[in-house]
């Protein structure tokens, strides 16, 4: 992966919850990293067809390894005004060079985003 393909700015965030006095969960966001990534939205190419096991996937992200930072499926990625819940994160070939993350588009509760049928 060359630097020329890592063109999309993303923000990786960790979501934690606390409970208020009335018992409601309150989400808290903490920015883990702001990096540039290769971003590929879901399409009908052979690459995505082979990932049929992840039918709910909406996008693929590849970005450089971040030393001393753990990226996992409890995190979200903000990218181009959209939010993606991570459903798969892999340290590519365990070489500590790149992460490959697959995310599902988060649909807002007020219905601003249409559900993807792809």
| CATH classification of the domain holding 27 | 2.40.10.270
In a domain, 116, yes or no: no
CB-neighbour burial class of residue 57 (10 A; exposed 0-12, middle 13-18, buried 19+): buried
In a domain, 84, yes or no: yes
Unique residue bearing structure tokens 């989400």: 27
For 45-95, write each residue's pLDDT tens digit. 666 656 555 678 889 999 999 999 999 999 999 999 999 999 999 998 888
In a domain, 110, yes or no: no
Beta-carbon contacts of residue 75 (< 8 Å; ≥ 6 apart): 12, 13, 14, 15, 32, 86, 89
In a domain, 118, yes or no: no
In a domain, 114, yes or no: no
Given this model, what pLDDT does residue 116 score?
A: 47
- Owning domain of residue 22: 3-105
First to last CA, the chain: 27
Taking residues 3-11, report their average pLDDT: 86
User: Could you tell me which of 12, 55, 54 has the C-alpha nearest to residue 37?
Assistant: 12
In a domain, 117, yes or no: no
Total count of domains within the chain: 1
For 88-112, write each residue's pLDDT tens digit. 999 988 889 999 999 999 887 665 5
Q: Which residue has the higher pLDDT, 24 or 108?
A: 24
């Amino acid at each position: 992966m060359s630097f020329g393909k890592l063109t999309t700015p993303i923000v990786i965030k960790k979501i934690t919850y606390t409970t208020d006095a009335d018992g409601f969960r309150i989400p808290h966001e903490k920015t883990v990293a702001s990096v540039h990534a290769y971003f590929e939205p879901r399409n009908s190419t052979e690459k995505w067809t082979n990932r049929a096991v992840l039918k709910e996937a909406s996008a693929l992200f590849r970005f450089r390894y971040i030393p001393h930072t753990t990226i996992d499926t409890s995190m979200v990625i903000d990218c181009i005004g959209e939010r993606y819940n991570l459903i798969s994160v892999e340290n590519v070939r365990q070489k500590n060079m790149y992460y490959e993350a697959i995310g599902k588009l988060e649909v807002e509760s007020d219905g601003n985003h249409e559900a993807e049928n792809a």
